[in-house]
């Protein structure tokens, strides 16, 4: 930290502002993602997303919605990594492809203008 402070003597203040801004941004994104998912079809082991509505979301909001969706299907202790979420996001936006597995246990498939995320049963 002392080396960084030699470049910016007010580094601690700047980091504090960054943390405050990042927390507010995170709150906003999680709230908007939750609102989007609340308007989608939810069953015990699946989510069905309106593809057109998903495509209209900002990419950051798409990622947050998918993170929440996967976490809700797998349980809050499971989190998909960035690469898995980004692969799912790109699949949802692509014009081709039939199925993709995300986070090892969630299958994404295409169904007439919707994207179905279904929890796979593993034994």
- Does domain 2-119 fall under CATH 1.20.59.20? My reply is yes
Across 2-23, average pLDDT: 87
In a 13 Å sphere around the CA of 85, the CA atoms on its Cβ side amount to: 18
**Distance of alpha carbon 97 from alpha carbon 104, whole angstroms:** 18
**Do 53 and 36 meet the contact criterion of CB atoms below 8 Å apart?**
yes
pLDDT digits (tens, 9 = 90+) for 64-120: 999 999 988 888 777 788 998 999 999 999 877 788 888 888 889 988 888 888 887
**Do 107 and 70 meet the contact criterion of CB atoms below 8 Å apart?**
no
pLDDT digits (tens, 9 = 90+) for 37-59: 999 999 888 999 999 999 999 99
**Distance of alpha carbon 117 from alpha carbon 48, whole angstroms:** 6
Segment holding 107, helix H or strand E: strand 106-111
- What is the per-residue pLDDT for 123? 40
- What is the per-residue pLDDT for 121? 59
Segment holding 51, helix H or strand E: helix 51-56
Provide the whole-model pTM: 0.83
**Distance of alpha carbon 47 from alpha carbon 119, whole angstroms:** 9
């Amino acid at each position: 930290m002392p080396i960084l402070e030699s470049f910016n003597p007010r580094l601690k203040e700047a980091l504090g502002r960054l943390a405050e801004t990042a927390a507010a941004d995170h709150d906003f994104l999680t709230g908007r993602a939750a609102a989007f998912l609340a308007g989608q079809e939810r069953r015990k082991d699946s989510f069905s997303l309106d593809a057109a509505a998903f495509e209209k979301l900002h990419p950051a909001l798409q990622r947050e919605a998918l993170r929440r969706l996967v976490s809700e299907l797998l349980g809050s202790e499971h989190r998909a990594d960035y690469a898995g979420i980004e692969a799912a996001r790109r699949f949802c936006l692509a014009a081709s492809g039939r199925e993709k597995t995300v986070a090892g246990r969630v299958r994404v498939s295409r169904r007439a203008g919707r994207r179905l995320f279904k929890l796979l049963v593993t034994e």
